[in-house]
Structure 1
Amino acid sequence: MNLFTWIFLFLLTSGGLLEYWLLWRQANAVRGHRDRVPAPFARRISLDQHQKAADYTLAHIQVERVTLFFNAVLLLCWTLGGGLDWLSSQWQRTEWPALWQGTGLLISVLGISTLLELPISIWRTFGIEERFGFNRSSIRQFITDQLLQLGLMLLISIPLVASILWLMGQAGKLWWLEAWGVWMLFTLSITWAYPTLIAPLFNKFTPLEDRQLRVRLEKLLQRCGFHSKGMYVMDGSRRSAHGNAYFSGFGRNKRIVFFDTLLEGLTPDEIEAVLAHELGHFRKRHILKGMLTMAAISLAGLALLGWLREQSWFFEGLGVSTQSDAMALSLFLLVIPVFTTFFTPLFSALSRRHEFEADDFAATQASAEGLINGLVKMYRDNASTLTPDPLYSAFHHSHPPAAVRIRHLSSRIREQ
């Protein structure tokens, strides 16, 4: 153990205690307001619906507590517990070329971690989601999804990991710059391909059939200067009762998608307003800004990895005896979340700012009242808590709290 070991353990412990404290605050806030619907929602959400949302949130907090502890133990097992060292020794016995031994090591870590997390995923789906009436997925569907995700992971991850490891070994000291180029090309390719090649593997997408609604939404797209390959309805009800809407892809491959569960619950005014909000992200260039931010962060991360792979204390401090490119990349991916925990509020604040801007845009292109009504229905139907703890929300919520968001939109109505 060296100084870096103690820094790692301190941040792992302090970050974990912080997360448990935030979960405790969130549970107290939700439980403390369970017996009364907040005034802004009193006429639209019943006490039973409010209490269901509170109980649903509290159930998920239980899962988060277990997940937090499990992830910390698993991380210690991989690092100081010798898990990575042992797994690396098993791959060395294959006598494969070093590149493929390293690729095998990384894919194994990812696969084993996913397998160990499977019981928690089952708990969420067939425990909590089932108990609160949201799960519509069968055991057979769940297993099929898991196998499909595993196949995609292998298909995508193996060439990506092999390419980066090859660059680490062959491209000289500035390998990380070329690796960043590969990563960005990969990210853009996946973003482009997702709507038409990946998403249809899991769900069925059909063109929006409601002619009046389609004409209305197409006029909105024209006003906003948004061009897409069409508007589609996704069979989200096949797995869950939750509803949502989104657009994905970029360039000419953009696609607008509505969950069928969302269309069933909202009026045309509300659907138009929800879509206007999503288009607000496009018009305000939030997607582009997000991609540029992630590009800068990934570049800085790879540059940091380029330096750390040369430092013996990095490997020794995390309980690893074998110093290799694959081990450096494995350790970096495993421990980087420990060192970024305290930056979470910054990204959450930026995301909430973007949500306010998208709401403001929607209020100018559609009905602000329609957006309020649509949001309230979505809060109700998705059992979203109306009374989150402010500090927990500041850390973990990418969207503003319900009451804050509704108040903001109401102010726009008064201004108009």
Structure 2
Amino acid sequence: MENTPPVLAANAMTMVFALLLIASVVLKSWLSSRQVRHVARHRNTVPAAFAAQMPLEAHQKAADYTIAQQRLGLLEITWSSAVLLGWTLMGGLHTLNLLTLQWLPPGLWQQLVLLVGFALIGSLLDLPFGLYRTFVLEQRFGFNRMTWKLWLQDGIKGLLVGAVVGLPLAALVLWMMGAAGTWWWLWTWGIWTAFNLLMMVIYPTWIAPLFNRFEPLQDEVLRKRVTALMQRCGFTAQGLYVMDSSRRSAHANAYFTGLGRSKRVVFYDTLLKQLSVDEVEAVLAHELGHFSRKHIPKRMVSLFAMSLLGFALLGWICQQTWFYTGLGVLPLPGDPNDALALLLLGMVLPLASSFISPVMAQFSRKHEFEADAYAAEHARSQALESALLKLYQDNASTLTPDPVYVRFYYSHPPASERLGRLPHRAAGTPEATGASA
């Protein structure tokens, strides 16, 4: 658009943005409505493949929970779209920028204050949905264990951690944008990548314990089984820990965290209460499958490659006046507008991501199938099946999602596909119907 008259280029930017926003809202709303209708249609019948293991009451609870989540999601789609319009074409970001300029002269500090102000206002605008999700929706279905005191403590800690970690990084990025020359975006991408790798090392040891208690795994039988499994798989970890997730939620999970020697295995205490030793071993074998099949490095490379493209785009677009004016912001001639460029691009790019999400979701589901196959090789396949069924039931995950919705949003395969791929089910052996709760 360099040779296009500025007004025409700005109008074109406005039109592209408006079309993207409308298309994104229509697509998300359509998919969510499909999910609601599909789950509601199958609410009163457990799929035949799971009839022996899943009680009708649990199936109906999962359907009701899914529908409630989707209806809340539809409201969030509408609200977030209105907020996005308010920040951009209705002049919200421009007004906030002018307010900060009344207090501070143009420069690094003014831009940093603009970023902080935008983040705080955005958090306040999203707050009602977060509160409703935790204290109404999750409470209604028996998942919430969060108290108001704990919620407030988490909020204060989150703000402090964000300030200590985020502000220096934001200041460094803004300084690089103004001082590192034409190729600032490449050097800034390198800093951002290094920061993310550093966070993978320090998060498990320094940040996560601010929010949860992590205690060494005490169950000696489980410890021996897990240790033997990791030895068979050639995996080493800094330790095995149990996290007090039950203080906040009844949902269960397990995960690996960290990088290099800082890697650790973390079990939710809710998971250990719900699963047998065989089942926990199978779930851990699945997680080990992600490492064995190099899924983590592949995802990191994809993330860093996409972020490089994002920084390159930012490096070009922050110099285009039509980009700002087309989105409802008047840039300051001769003064830095880097924070405005960061915020505007950060609001626009997610609209485009709505249309590439099926590709990312497909790769993620492929990785899950591969990790399941690995788990079936190194642990009992039947134990993995029974563990997954328990987790589907205890987490109220629907067994009957809409197929189109799955293709767009599901990072994990739905139960019918996932369990159908397990070796003993695929082979049709008697073990296929022998999953125990």
In the alignment, structure 1 residue 178 sits paired with structure 2 residue 187: yes
**In 2: Cα distance, 1:95 partner to 1:119 partner:** 31
Letter matched to residue 314 of structure 2: L
- Once structures 1 and 2 are overlaid, which stretch shifts more, 91-100 or 340-349? 91-100
1:357 to 339, 363, 370: 370
In the alignment, structure 1 residue 338 sits paired with structure 2 residue 351: yes
Count of residue pairs brought into register by the alignment: 416
**Contact preservation (8 Å) 1:369, 1:413:** no
Q: Which residue of structure 1 lines up, in the alignment, with residue 272 of structure 2?
A: 263
2:411 to 377, 383, 398: 398
Identity percentage of aligned residues: 49
In the alignment, structure 1 residue 3 sits paired with structure 2 residue 12: yes
In the alignment, structure 1 residue 94 sits paired with structure 2 residue 103: yes
Q: Shift in Å at residue 126 of structure 1?
A: 0.6
Q: Shift in Å at residue 412 of structure 1?
A: 6.5
In the alignment, structure 1 residue 296 sits paired with structure 2 residue 305: yes
For 1:178-210, what per-residue CA distance to the aligned partner results, in whole angstroms no more than 9, with x for missing partners? 000110111011111111111111111111101
- Give the alignment of 1:30-109 within 5 angstroms: 30-96=39-105, 98-109=107-118
**Contact preservation (8 Å) 1:281, 1:358:** yes
In the alignment, structure 1 residue 132 sits paired with structure 2 residue 145: no
Q: Shift in Å at residue 410 of structure 1?
A: 4.4
**In 2: Cα distance, 1:94 partner to 1:376 partner:** 57
Q: Shift in Å at residue 39 of structure 1?
A: 1.1
Q: Residue 206 of structure 1: SS of its match in structure 2?
A: strand
Q: Which runs of 5+ in 1 are unaligned?
A: none
- Once structures 1 and 2 are overlaid, which stretch shifts more, 346-355 or 316-325? 316-325
**Contact preservation (8 Å) 1:368, 1:413:** no
Q: Which residue of structure 1 lines up, in the alignment, with residue 129 of structure 2?
A: 120
Q: Which residue of structure 1 lines up, in the alignment, with residue 381 of structure 2?
A: 368
**Contact preservation (8 Å) 1:368, 1:412:** no
Q: Which residue of structure 1 lines up, in the alignment, with residue 6 of structure 2?
A: none
**Contact preservation (8 Å) 2:376, 2:422:** yes
2:257 to 228, 248, 253: 248
- Give the alignment of 1:169-208 within 5 angstroms: 169-208=178-217
In the alignment, structure 1 residue 235 sits paired with structure 2 residue 248: no
Letter matched to residue 257 of structure 1: V
In the alignment, structure 1 residue 224 sits paired with structure 2 residue 233: yes
**In 2: Cα distance, 1:80 partner to 1:155 partner:** 32
**In 1: Cα distance, 2:176 partner to 2:379 partner:** 50
Q: Shift in Å at residue 106 of structure 1?
A: 1.2
TM-score, L = length of structure 2? 0.93
In the alignment, structure 1 residue 378 sits paired with structure 2 residue 387: no
Q: Shift in Å at residue 96 of structure 1?
A: 4.7
Q: Residue 387 of structure 1: SS of its match in structure 2?
A: coil
2:331 to 308, 322, 325: 322
**In 2: Cα distance, 1:364 partner to 1:330 partner:** 47
Q: Residue 167 of structure 1: SS of its match in structure 2?
A: helix
For 1:340-382, what per-residue CA distance to the aligned partner results, in whole angstroms no more than 9, with x for missing partners? 2101111000100000000011011001111000000000000
**In 2: Cα distance, 1:137 partner to 1:200 partner:** 17
**In 2: Cα distance, 1:36 partner to 1:392 partner:** 20
Q: Residue 101 of structure 1: SS of its match in structure 2?
A: helix
Q: Residue 342 of structure 1: SS of its match in structure 2?
A: coil
Q: Residue 250 of structure 2: SS of its match in structure 1?
A: coil
Letter matched to residue 314 of structure 1: F
For 1:243-290, what per-residue CA distance to the aligned partner results, in whole angstroms no more than 9, with x for missing partners? 000010010000100001100111111100000000000111111111
The alignment yields a C-alpha RMSD, in angstroms, of 1.2
**In 1: Cα distance, 2:213 partner to 2:105 partner:** 41
Q: Taking structure 1 as reference, are residues 250 and 197 closer, same or farther at Cα in structure 2, changes over 3 Å only?
A: same
**In 2: Cα distance, 1:214 partner to 1:346 partner:** 38
**Contact preservation (8 Å) 2:59, 2:398:** yes
**Contact preservation (8 Å) 1:220, 1:276:** yes
Q: Shift in Å at residue 97 of structure 1?
A: 5.8
For 1:293-337, what per-residue CA distance to the aligned partner results, in whole angstroms no more than 9, with x for missing partners? 000000000000001011111111101112511111111111110
**In 2: Cα distance, 1:385 partner to 1:140 partner:** 32
In the alignment, structure 1 residue 272 sits paired with structure 2 residue 281: yes
**In 2: Cα distance, 1:413 partner to 1:246 partner:** 27
Q: Shift in Å at residue 94 of structure 1?
A: 2.1
Q: Which residue of structure 1 lines up, in the alignment, with residue 5 of structure 2?
A: none
TM-score, L = length of structure 1? 0.98
